[in-house]
Amino acid sequence: RVIVDDIMTHPYWTPYKELAAKAGLAACWSEPIRSSFGQVLGTFAIYQREVHSPAAFEISLIEKAVHLVSIAIERKRAEEALRASEQEFRTLAENLPELLIRYDRDGRRTYVSPAMERAFSVPTEQLIGKTLREVNPTGMAMPETYQRALEHTLATGERSEFEVQIPLPDGNMRTGLCFIVAERAADGRISGAIAVSRDISERKRMENEIRRRERKFRSLAENSPDPIFRYDHDCRRLYANPASSIMSGHPVESLVGATPGDGHLLGADDAARLEAGIRRVFDSGEPGSVDVASVDRDGRPREYQVLLVPEPGDQGKVETVLGLAHDTTAIRDAERRMTDFVANLPGFAFTFRLSPEGHCSFPFASPGVENLAGLKPADVKNDWAPALALVHPDDVPHIITKMTESVRTMTPHELEIRVCRPGLPVRWIEIHSIPLRQADGSILWHGIMLDVDERKRNEAELERHRHHLEKLVEDRTQALSIAKETAEAATRAKSQFLAAASHDLRQPLQAIRLFNDALSMTGLGEVQNKISSNLSKSVNSLGELLNQLLDLSRLDAGMIEPQPVVIQAGDLLGVIGAEFDAVSREKSLSLNLFCPQQGLKLFSDYNLLLTLLRNLVSNAVKYTARGGVLVSIRQRGDRALIQVWDTGIGISPEQTDSIFEEYFQIGNPERARVKGVGLGLSIVKRLSKLLDIGVRVRSREGKGSVFELNVPLANEPEMHATPPATSASPECDLMGKRIVVIEDDAIVAKAIEFSLEMEGAQVILFGTAEDALGSAETMGADYYISDYRLPGMDGLRLLDAIQRHSTGQIKGVVLTGNTSPEQIALMQSSRWKVLIKPVDLSMLLTAMAL
């Protein structure tokens, strides 16, 4: 408190004396105004016009006044402060990205920051004054967690902090981080609460993303067959994947936390290089790679290329470095092998470049180029001219053509050229290359050039040999074709010989047979009868032989057409039995016929099948000395199996094929005695082929043989065969019959005459056709028998002529000994009966059937 009772004399006022005198002020009493905390807010002063000291009541008045002023000032200030802080709160709340909601103590919203409206599109007015539980016209509902936290804070005054999922009207979910704090009144009681919610959806998403990436990294890294490491700034491994442990044989735990320099996996040099590489990546933020060598769990050396990848954190700074090790052992091996290969090529590997401007060069040539062309890789690196200068002039256009074509088709090309090096012989070179178009428009060929000089020379030599061989083959082929022609001519000659020989043999045979027949009818004594019978047997054998020859030539000529009919298996066996009964009995052999299935019917050509079977049975009897022969016919599926068994001498395995060849007989002294010329089975083979019934033989030497046929079964019962009466005696009465015989061979003619006359016939003989036609006796005969080969006219035409001169149908037969295929064909087509010589009386009588 300052009391100035005389302004004019008080030192405080010296500078302002004049001013105070002008204003008429004489005394000044002043008192400081203090706040309730004692802070000086200002000064209260009272001025007097008279020089005067305050009395006690005046002091007390001043003090009261000062107290009132201090109250007024404090209130004013508090009001201003409140307004300012309210303003600040709003400014803050309105500009915060967070949602800010103020609740009164009943949980009614008293303030909602505009962020709310922005986030939830709900007008602020609709929210103010409402509790969370009150029905919300917009349907916006705060989650239960929030509700409970607010109630908790309002009840206890404790701060709540939690995350909630808030559904947005558009269906999206946001994640909010919420704080609720209590507001307290001056007396400390809870007056409400303020809730602040921050949208952390983005952060959550990022966190999830990071977690997802980490999981992904893990699953990739855990399953990677290559070792993967993560390094920190000290090159310490933060992570090592299972592959790194599997490869090295060290457990993951021992790898994590250690550095490459720990000596576990790498040698000191490699570890130092790797660590330097890792540091470079940390510093530069750029990826890098380091090649290192290691040893696998089995002690085998391995090579790796370690790719070092920076892993930046939020600030973009590299936080960790990933080391992806790739096993390059195989690649490096292949590279080394390739390098070795290229170095040892009998030539060189190259890259040839054709620039867009048409300039040619060898950007790469392996060192072999020196051996091949006497050039260094550098000589042709920028220009191919030095190489081109060595190419044989004739081959240059070839190179250009091939290159142009390769550019056009972009396909690999190959060519051979000659290289002429001064003072050295010309050498052949082969080029293989593959074109690749480059981004800059140039074309690169990667390829090799090989020295093929030796091969070329060998080829030329081979070519000469080939020529020689071809010539040889040609000559040989010609010789063979001549030989073949000769052989064919021989076969033809054989056929002709057979035909001719059989004719010439038949003539005398015919005569002997007929004479013998005639002789036997003249009442012979016992001895003569035996001789005649033996004679007959011999003639029969000879006839048989001739018949076989004839059969064979007919079969060879393809003259025989099978006429399949239904055959009773039983009938077939009957005929065989009748024919071979006597001969087997003679040899004391049993002959058994076996057909278990009654009424089994075959379908084949009766006569041909019988001939075939006869041959087999005849052989069986012939080559069996003890035991017997069994002929069986049994059904096998849709075929009949005919088997001819014997207990004879058998056939050795090597000979089972040969026996079917013509004139083949096993050179066995025992066999030499038996008859036959080795044609029987040749006929069997040809017939079985013609009838398509196959023939097979199984045999054991000294035990016996079985020959088998497979004959089709009949399914058409109506096609019955009437087996010809093979050994039927002719029921033919010649007594008094007039028979004209035209035969130029006098002996045969006599024989026929004799034998027919023995039967009581009257025979008129002519030697030529002319004689016969010229004689009146010829006409009106009961029967005509003519030889085929007559001078001037053949027997068929003679009968035709006689028929023309006769009134009724004449009966006639032609006898022939010519068995050439053409002859047989001609006679088959004739209207007259034809008999092949030798003919015995019974055959003749059967044919005449008079």
Q: Which is nearer to ligand ADP, 595 or 697 (CB)?
A: 697
Each residue of 438-462: b (16+ CB within 10 Å) or e?
Answer: eeeebbbbebbbbbbbeebeeeeee
CB 708 to ligand ADP: min, Å: 12
CB 646 to ligand ADP: min, Å: 5
Measured in degrees and rounded to the nearest 5, phi and psi for residue 637 equal: 65, -130
CB 679 to ligand ADP: min, Å: 6
Rounded to whole angstroms, how far apart are CA atoms 728 and 559? 27
Task: Identify whether the C-beta of residue 682 lies closer than 8 Å to the C-beta of residue 607.
Answer: no
* DSSP code at position 135: -
Rounded to whole angstroms, how far apart are CA atoms 674 and 832? 38
Order the strands of the 738-742 sheet from edge to edge.
Answer: 762-766, 738-742, 783-787, 812-816, 833-836
Rounded to whole angstroms, how far apart are CA atoms 646 and 591? 9
Q: Which residues contact 392 (CB under 8 A, 6 or more apart)?
A: 417, 418, 419, 420, 426
Q: Distances from the Cα of 621 to the Cαs of 324, 574, 647, in angstroms?
A: 94, 17, 9
CB 835 to ligand ADP: min, Å: 25
Q: Which is nearer to ligand ADP, 520 or 705 (CB)?
A: 705
Order the strands of the 628-636 sheet from edge to edge.
Answer: 590-594, 628-636, 639-646, 704-712, 695-700
Q: Which is nearer to ligand ADP, 260 or 676 (CB)?
A: 676
CB 704 to ligand ADP: min, Å: 7
Q: Distances from the Cα of 258 to the Cαs of 265, 513, 603, 643, in angstroms?
A: 11, 124, 98, 94
CB 684 to ligand ADP: min, Å: 7
Q: How many CB atoms lie within 10 A of CB 150?
A: 21
The sign of the torsion formed by the CA atoms of 671, 673, 678, 680 equals negative
Q: How many CB atoms lie within 10 A of CB 179?
A: 16
CB 607 to ligand ADP: min, Å: 19
Q: Which is nearer to ligand ADP, 351 or 643 (CB)?
A: 643
Q: Which is nearer to ligand ADP, 20 or 684 (CB)?
A: 684
The sign of the torsion formed by the CA atoms of 75, 81, 85, 91 equals positive
Q: Which is nearer to ligand ADP, 676 or 838 (CB)?
A: 676
CB 697 to ligand ADP: min, Å: 8
Task: Give the footprint of ligand ADP on this chain (CB under 6 A).
Answer: 619-620, 623, 646, 648-651, 659, 664-666, 671, 676-682, 705
CA 492 from centre of chain = 56
Q: Which is nearer to ligand ADP, 697 or 790 (CB)?
A: 697
* DSSP code at position 659: G
Considering only CA atoms, which of 497, 695, 678, 691 is closest in space to residue 609?
691
Rounded to whole angstroms, how far apart are CA atoms 787 and 789? 6
Range 167-173 contact pairs with CB under 8 angstroms and sequence separation of 24 or more? 167/141, 168/119, 168/120, 169/120, 169/121, 169/138, 169/139, 169/140, 173/201
Q: Looking only at Cα atoms, what is the longest distance across the chain?
A: 224
Q: Which is nearer to ligand ADP, 140 or 677 (CB)?
A: 677
Task: Judge if the upstream peptide bond of residue 838 is cis by omega within 30 degrees of 0.
Answer: yes
CB 480 to ligand ADP: min, Å: 29
CB 548 to ligand ADP: min, Å: 8
Q: Which is nearer to ligand ADP, 53 or 541 (CB)?
A: 541
Q: Which is nearer to ligand ADP, 701 or 716 (CB)?
A: 701
Q: Which is nearer to ligand ADP, 609 or 752 (CB)?
A: 609
CB-based closest residue to ligand ADP? 676
Measured in degrees and rounded to the nearest 5, phi and psi for residue 682 equal: -65, -40
CB 669 to ligand ADP: min, Å: 12
Tokens of 128: 């103010």
Q: Which is nearer to ligand ADP, 674 or 849 (CB)?
A: 674
CB 612 to ligand ADP: min, Å: 11
Range 154-158 contact pairs with CB under 8 angstroms and sequence separation of 24 or more? 154/103, 154/105, 154/107, 154/182, 154/190, 154/192, 154/193, 156/182, 157/182, 157/184, 157/190, 158/182
DSSP states along 29-46? EEEEEE-TTS-EEEEEEE
Q: Which is nearer to ligand ADP, 206 or 625 (CB)?
A: 625
Measured in degrees and rounded to the nearest 5, phi and psi for residue 427 equal: -125, 150
CB 834 to ligand ADP: min, Å: 27
CB 668 to ligand ADP: min, Å: 7
Rounded to whole angstroms, how far apart are CA atoms 227 and 753? 120
Q: Which is nearer to ligand ADP, 360 or 706 (CB)?
A: 706
